[in-house]
Amino acid sequence: MEFRVPAFIRLLFTASRLTRNYMKISIIITVNMVIVIGLYYVFRPDKAHTTSSFFTVVLDSGSTGTRVDVYEWSRNIRSIHNLPIMLHSLPDNSTRSPLRHDACHYHCMQTEPGLDKFVHNFSGISTALEPLLQWAELQIPPQRHKETPVFLLATAGLRRLPSEDADWIIENAMDVLRRHQFMYRRSWVRVLSGKEEAYYGWVALNYKLGRLGNSLEVPTLGVLDLGGSSLQVVIETGGSRDSQHFIQSKIGSAAHQLLAYSLPAFGLNAAFDRSIVMLWKDQLAKDSFNGMVELGHPCLSSGFTQNYTCYGCWLNDINLQNVSVEQSKQSLQFYLIGDPDWERCKLLARAATVHPNNSDWLQLSADLDCNSQSSLPNSTDLLNLTARRPAIHFHALSGFFAVYNMLKINPEESTAEFMLRGQQLCSRSWEDIKRNYITRNYMEQSCFRVPYLLSLLQDGFCLNDSEITFGPGDISWTLGAALVEGEYLWSTKAESPTGSFILRKMKVIPCLLFLFALSLWCVAIRYCWKIKRSIALSMPISGRRGPAIGASFPSSLHPKRQLN
């Protein structure tokens, strides 16, 4: 008889074989998953999330020039909600480069003039941006360029252009960025609203001075940020307000309710242009030998002369008749002559603050009560705010600090000392000033800027010495922009900038583990099904007579029965 293996033994062999197959499949799946996860960490485009530090580049396209800042950050490992730690901010005081112009009263890399002067001039845009981008590339390791975002954000200079001109400049600036390896998006190259610029300045100040991203009940600081064309004012309020200036902010782990104002006509250069318009209307202008309008200015030193291009003069309401739209876009040429008169200069600066379109500035009352009405046009709610604001300490940044620094005044000095130093400066001749001071761009306007700044603070905002600190000088709104615009780099809650193709680490790994578990579960189900099927095949089938168990053994084991 043929020898046959018992069913339970065959079942054991089958189970053993299936177990080996199951183990092989499990090992293959595990190895593949390890390879996938490894490749993800090595080749993913957003691998900067796991490196020790990361960089951001911000290009600030202002009205006087274009500047670049490079920031290096470290993630705050104590909590995913904490703000990153800034390791370096470049340029710094040790930076040496031809791009570091005297126009910067604090460290900055700048090309001049601003991009708003290059409408339909691509070579001008390229010349302005290329040196800044090349310098930024030298500050960042080459292997990190592709993962480093660059933000090109324009301010008042482009805001005052017609939208079609501003859009043309932005699109052509994008073409320059494409030549470099930095990461960029279309939304990262744009014209900021005045409210955005003001908000970024507030973030920069309060981050740098440790007022953001902590659990302590430390009040935030108010910001007065003065540029060439505009003035930004931001404070935190105690509750929400129904106002176009209101901002609900959440950066780091805390929420903030802010009021942010941008006054487009109150920058340093815009105010000086306004003073020229007032003089032009007030005095009998005459043509000089070269055909330009000759003006004597009481805030310019004796012996000073200059061919001056006024870009914003047509933007002021000077009651000129028959001014076309095209003409209003053009600049005006003046021949300025120093005609120093300190008292007239103070009145002119004050008029530029409180009555920007009033040609009768000499009749301005000297006893203006800033608490009785709004001194700044179109900002009644701003003065109402300063009249009933909570206890807020303001920091006067950018242009405020630049003028203080130019006069070599300690920021802790009183405003009375500031005015006295300004008067002493303006009593000197232009030749004497050039010998005793570092000649900077717009140095000649210092005699106007001193009383203008004080008029802004005292007549415009009713602030006293105890409520103001001038500086620090190394704080720029670009720091706030790098934090807010680059939030995806340090916050796990933010979306990655390159769309759905790049999955965030905290989302990808659970997904891979789920797929791995699902694969093991499917293999286990199939394994159990195989065993069950093998058992079924090994059992007798109901209704059919199966062979005796002994019949499967060899006949030699069953001795034949003897016949009687």
Over residues 443-483, the pLDDT tens digits come to 889 899 999 999 999 888 888 888 999 988 889 999 999 99
Long-range contacts at 556-564 (CB < 8 A, ≥ 24 apart): 558/1
Ordered by where they begin, the domains of the chain are 7-44+508-552 (no CATH), 48-209+476-501 (3.30.420.40), 268-470 (3.30.420.150)
> According to the annotation, is 74 in a ligand binding site?
no
* Strand bridging mode 293-297 / 332-338: parallel
Segment holding 478, helix H or strand E: helix 477-485
Cα–Cα separations (whole angstroms), residue 316 to 64, 230, 376, 400: 19, 14, 15, 23
- Supply the pLDDT for residue 474: 85
> According to the annotation, is 229 in a ligand binding site?
yes
CB atoms within 10 A of CB 216: 6
Amino acid at the residue 432: D
Please state which of the ranges 432-441, 475-484, 554-563 shows the lowest mean pLDDT: 554-563
DSSP string across 407-454: TT--TTS-HHHHHHHHHHHHTS-HHHHHHHS---TTGGGHHHHHHHHH
Of 366, 308, 287, 304, the residue nearest 340 (C-alpha): 304
CB atoms within 10 A of CB 279: 22
- Of residues 313 and 267, more confidence is placed in 267
Is the pLDDT confidence value at 285 over 80? no
Return the structure tokens found at 244: 């176009």
DSSP strand E in 18-65: where? Answer: 54-61
Could you give the CA distance from residue 92 to residue 70 in angstroms, rounded to a whole number? 10
Amino acid at the residue 486: G
> According to the annotation, is 232 in a ligand binding site?
yes
Please state which of the ranges 108-112, 335-339, 555-559 shows the lowest mean pLDDT: 555-559
pLDDT in tens, 314-329: 555 444 444 444 545 5
pLDDT tier for residue 122 given thresholds of 50, 70 and 90? very high
> According to the annotation, is 231 in a ligand binding site?
yes
Share of the chain above pLDDT 70, in %: 61
**Mean pLDDT for the stretch of residues 331-357:** 86
Please state which of the ranges 44-53, 114-123, 477-486 shows the lowest mean pLDDT: 44-53
Is the pLDDT confidence value at 41 over 70? no
Return the structure tokens found at 160: 């005052």
Q: Is the pTM of this model over 0.85?
A: no
- End-to-end Cα spacing for the chain: 24
DSSP H helices in 104-233: 122-139, 156-159, 163-177, 194-208
Cα–Cα separations (whole angstroms), residue 484 to 233, 250, 553: 18, 10, 84
Task: Find where tokens 């620094």 sit.
Answer: 405
Amino acid at the residue 229: S
> According to the annotation, is 244 in a ligand binding site?
no
User: Active-site positions?
Assistant: 197
- Of residues 418 and 375, more confidence is placed in 418
Segment holding 39, helix H or strand E: helix 7-43
* 5 Rama sector, left if φ>0, alpha if ψ -120 to 50, beta otherwise: beta
Please state which of the ranges 344-348, 444-448, 534-538 shows the lowest mean pLDDT: 534-538
